[in-house]
Amino acid sequence: MGLIQREIEQRGIPTVSVTINRTLTEAVRPPRALFLRWPFGHPFGDPGAREQQMTVLKEALRALLTMTQPGTLVDLPYKWRRQVYAGLPESIRLDAGPR
């Protein structure tokens, strides 16, 4: 995915990866990536877990606004199935970001 991301970014469109394979992501070095220590096949969370999925999605959208250094890989702090996703913390609300 990182190789495709670079091509897309060269055309002026920002991209971000959500990854669960840190070793591969470090080797490919996509322009922006978020890492979660979650099971393969579930980069956005459990099926039907709306709050969990929305949390990861909003983190990815925020990364497009805040990650400016090429090749940045950020570890997200969320725990698989041990995190409470009742509403979103203010720190990742899209309306709380810079304008």
- At 4-50, the pLDDT tens digits run 998 999 999 999 999 999 999 999 999 999 999 999 999 998 888 88
What is the rounded CA–CA span in Å between residue 33 and residue 95? Answer: 21
Closest residue by Cα to residue 67 from 29, 28, 21, 20: 29
In eight-state DSSP terms, residue 57 is H
Per DSSP, what are the bridge partners of residue 97? none
What is the rounded CA–CA span in Å between residue 99 and residue 81? Answer: 33
Domains in the chain: boundaries: 2-96
pLDDT at 2 over 80: no
In eight-state DSSP terms, residue 78 is P
pLDDT digits (tens, 9 = 90+) for 53-92: 999 999 999 999 999 888 899 999 998 876 777 655 555 5
